[in-house]
Amino acid sequence: MKKINVILHETTIINFPFFWKLIKRYAFLSMIAPIVSLIVGGYIYYSQKDIYLKSASFKYHVESTDTTSSSIASIIGEKSSGLSINEILGIMNSYDFAKQVAVSLYNRPDLLEFNFTPIKNKDFLNTASYLAPCKENRECKIKKIQQIVPYLYTMEPDRLIENRFWIRVKSLDKKTTLNLTETLITELRRNRINSIKHNLTEQMNLSYELIENKKNELIGVDMLAVRDRKKEVQSNLNEITSKIKSYTSFYHQQKLKLSLAETKYNQTRSTISKRQVAQEDVEVSKKRQELEDKIKKTMSDINSIKLSAKDLSAQDKMIIKQLRSEISNAKNKLSSLGTKGRTISNIVDFLDEKDKESDFNEFDYKVLKGQFVKIEKDYSEMIKKREDLEAESRKLDNILEKYKPAFEYIKLLEQKIVQLKLLESTVISDFIFDKESASVRRFKRTSKSKIILFTVTITLFLMFLITISRYIIDDRIYDTYELEKSFEELTIIGNTPDFD
């Protein structure tokens, strides 16, 4: 038996020059290995089913915002930059998305023409046979489609471009690949829109709840009534203030007039009280004045008689004589009075005049005083009313100030709800798909290059195995090298000659 160490080498393990010599020595057997490998490789390659691949890419558009809320969110560790890569990848791996795709496919009229056979399956999966056990049960069919469809598509992020993703659909049918790709794109957009709408709806519900809580806190406080009353009080306050402002001037004018009238009245009374004379002197002065007036009147009557008649009759003369006698008597009486009462006549006249004037001053003073009392009462009432309005205004201000933050909070929430409703009615998907997508590519599960590499490897292995096996079985020695390696204890004396 030949030693194995003939084909071994100390450095390279396998003695490749000797191995090549063996291949040429057993050339016929060595050709069997590549032929078998080619046959096996070809069978493996051409027995594979054709796989149809369709790729679609989309960009996740994230709006960058620099607002107070986003800043606070980043401070407390809340994510405010949209969906993460794992969340986007999780959409297509979710149960709900698979069900949406299954429902969409079920509603297609050409459903039975689809080929849902997974590319790793050896057996062909007929759609009609696959759904046959469900009969007419819609939910059962949708569930079966939902179970098989996820094996036909994948999604992965782009390695070079941020926020870019690839959807790849692989199936054993070109039509299935195209239609499934379109369905996935449609459902992915719809899923994202529904997700955004759901988020907006949740925010609206939360806002409604917060508004309701705040309103419960404000039960018993009619803020609109308080505001209306505040406006009414402020209007009344402005009106009464303006009225007081104009009334103040009139009030002070009347007060000045009353003060002047009172002073004039008091001065007149004071003057009269200081210039009082004895009653006897007053009577004498009045009697003197009567006698003087009688003398003047009698003299006037005598003159009138003389002027009225050119010739005086006896009767006229008798009358004149009597009148002169009366004048004489009056003068005698006046003479008997002497100077008594003459010095106070002017004083009495002055006092009479002042007494009459005092009556008018007193009347004016009393009238002005009555008017001023009414004016002062009205003025005091206006001041009191203004003070009451100011106190009520301050009270209303305190109420408004106390509950203003709550009402402003409710107002802001109501504005937010309006904005959310507007956003909800105009929601679009933030997944932007490329308008131009790659065409469907057909390929085998195992590529030609892999088959060739596999064939070459198998060929070398078989050639090595066949050649080594044949060499071990062969008992013949073909050259000196084999002899030396096989019988190391023998000494070679010489070589036999070669004869042609």
User: What's the whole-number mean pLDDT along residues 423-452?
Assistant: 83
- Lowest model confidence (mean pLDDT) among 70-79, 90-99, 413-422, 479-488: 70-79
User: What's the whole-number mean pLDDT along residues 378-382?
Assistant: 80
pLDDT of residue 80: 45
Does the pLDDT of residue 47 top 60, yes or no?
A: yes
> How far is the C-alpha of 341 from the C-alpha of 287, rounded, in Å?
9
| 138 — pLDDT class (breaks 50, 70, 90) | very high
pLDDT of residue 142: 93
| pLDDT tens digits, 401-436 | 777 777 788 888 888 889 888 888 888 888 888 887
> How far is the C-alpha of 97 from the C-alpha of 90, rounded, in Å?
9
> How far is the C-alpha of 149 from the C-alpha of 48, rounded, in Å?
21
Q: What percent of the chain has pLDDT over 70?
A: 71
Does the pLDDT of residue 340 top 60, yes or no?
A: no
| Closest C-alpha to 418, from 203, 108, 181, 166 | 203
169 DSSP β-pair partners: 54, 153
Q: What mean pLDDT value characterizes the chain?
A: 77
Does the pLDDT of residue 198 top 80, yes or no?
A: yes
Tokens of 454: 């596999």
**H helix runs in 275-344, sequence order:** 279-308, 314-337
CB atoms within 10 A of CB 187: 22
Distant-in-sequence, close-in-space partners of 298: CB < 8 Å, separation ≥ 6 = 323, 326, 327, 330
Pairing type for strands 431-433 and 50-60 reads: antiparallel
CB atoms within 10 A of CB 405: 10
- Lowest model confidence (mean pLDDT) among 56-60, 313-317, 331-335: 313-317
User: What's the whole-number mean pLDDT along residues 292-305?
Assistant: 75
pLDDT of residue 101: 92
Q: Pick the residue with more confidence: 278 or 63? A: 63
> How far is the C-alpha of 497 from the C-alpha of 460, rounded, in Å?
37
CB atoms within 10 A of CB 304: 10
